[in-house]
Amino acid sequence: MPEALIAIAFLLTPLLIGSIWGIAVFNQMVGVRQHLRESWSDIEVELRRRLDLIPNLVETAKGYAAHERELLETVARLRTAATDPSHAGQRGEEERRVEAESHRLIALAETYPDLKANEQFLRLQHELTVTEDRIAAARRFYNGNVRDLNQLREQFPTSLIAALAGVEAAEYFQPDYASR
């Protein structure tokens, strides 16, 4: 009888250890996915802040750059599109376009010395620059979490647990430097 118990224990021990390991890996992936959601939320907060600053910049620039109407209308249109929930799948592309156009808007100050000297425009420009820095920091944090999750998904043997749990690869959020 004791030999049978030893044999059963010998067979069940690896199963128990494997189960505990699988649960630990699954919980680690749950934690990384939660960090991913939190870090995306941080990005969205900063993107919203940038989108809220843009109309003020446009209004300030309108008085100085009336003949730059096309740029001002494009910036306003992109801002509206970026906040439209029906375009959620295109969010990254729309944000890159908003970023590129907001940089063009800031560049107007170089063309119009009076605008460059406008205190409100300078304050908004500074706030936009700070917000862009915060977006970049949030993007780095988010992309680090994407890397961690994707690494867990792809490395053996944690890839087995990821496949069983249906964990999908996350996408990096990258700026489009070619548009600048």
Q: Where do the domains of the chain lie?
A: 2-179
pLDDT confidence of residue 66:
61
Nearest-angstrom CA–CA distance, 32 and 24: 12
In the structure encoding, which two tokens stand for residue 22, read together?
Answer: 């699988």
CATH 1.20.1440.20 fits 2-179, yes or no: yes
Q: What is the pLDDT of residue 176?
A: 56
How much is the pLDDT for 90?
60
Per the CB < 8 A criterion, the answer to whether 140 and 132 are in contact is no
Q: What is the 3-state secondary structure (H, E, C) of the chain?
A: CHHHHHHHHHHHHHHHHHHHHHHHHHHHHHHHHHHHHHHHHHHHHHHHHHHHHHHHHHHHHHCCCHHHHHHHHHHHHHHHHHCCHHHHHHHHHHHHHHHHHHHHHHHHHHHCHHHHHCHHHHHHHHHHHHHHHHHHHHHHHHHHHHHHHHHHHHCCCHHHHHHHHCCCCCCCCCCCHHHC
**Low-confidence residues of the chain: pLDDT under 50:** 87-88, 178-180
The per-residue pLDDT for 160 is 92
Residue 106 has a pLDDT of 76
Question: Does this model's pTM top 0.85?
Answer: no
In sign, the C-alpha dihedral spanning 40, 45, 51, 57 is: negative
| pLDDT for residue 20 | 96
Q: How far apart are CA 155 and CA 95, in angstroms?
A: 32
pLDDT of residue 91: 66
Encoded amino acid at 63, one letter: G
**For position 2, what pLDDT does the model report?**
86
pLDDT of residue 180: 43
What's the rounded Cα separation, in Å, for the pair 102 and 24? 45
Tell me, what's the pLDDT at 178? Answer: 43
